[in-house]
Amino acid sequence: MSETAAHDHELEVLEDDQNVPPRPEEQIADALGGGTLDDTEPPVEADFPAP
């Protein structure tokens, strides 16, 4: 019985996590075509040689 209650609690936590708004980084990644920042190109600063 206690295992079922704990399992239900885990499902509630997962549902709550899905309701949390995405972080700014995730919104930017979605705007760039989805995926995480690790999947995107390096920052523009990396395209220029160091002074």
pLDDT in tens, 1-51: 555 555 565 666 555 556 666 666 666 666 666 555 555 556 665 556 666
Residue 15: what are its φ and ψ, rounded to 5°? -65, -40
pLDDT at 48: 60
pLDDT at 12: 62
With H, G, I as helix, E, B as strand and everything else as coil, classify residue 43. coil
pLDDT at 26: 66
11-40 CB burial, b ≥16 within 10 A, e <16:
eeeeeeeeeeeeeeeeeebeeeeeeeeeee
pLDDT at 38: 56
